[in-house]
Amino acid sequence: MSARVYRLGLIALMAGLFPVAATAEPLLHDPFARPFQIGSTPSADANTPRHPKLIAVIVDGEKSLVNLNGTIIGIGEEKDGYRLIKVWDRKAIFKKRKKWVVLEMSSLKPGNQRGSQ
């Protein structure tokens, strides 16, 4: 008899007849949130402006081009609100809203420089 009562109780539980979820405690954190890196604070990361990455430049006066996060843009063109103004060797000037932004290419690691074998 007890096995039958156990099965009926299990079936009722699986069918949702018992309000088990209503008695559960709420979660204290979002289980899907990304963990922050050790040594960083979420408030500092939130206040830091995130600029796109300048990957490559081609300096050719008014025909200069840059690779901004994988997208090639020319002088006067815009990507994600950044309008390209001027290009120099390894850096470029953009205008976003009413602010000027200078982006520089990241330096190459030793051994990966141009011309080294």
Cα angle vertex 61, ends 58, 62, to 5°? 105
Instruction: Tell me, yes or no, if the pTM score tops 0.85.
Output: no
What is the predicted pLDDT for the residue at 76?
94
Task: Please tell me which residue, 35 or 77, carries the higher pLDDT value.
Answer: 77
Q: What is the mean pLDDT of the chain?
A: 75
Rounded to 5 degrees, φ, ψ at 83 are -95, 125
What is the residue whose two structure tokens read 């490559």? 56
Find the mean pLDDT for residues 5-31.
Answer: 65
For residue 67, pLDDT beyond 70: yes
Could you tell me if 90 and 100 are in contact, meaning their C-beta atoms sit under 8 angstroms apart? no
Token pair for residue 76? 């006067």
What is the predicted pLDDT for the residue at 106?
79
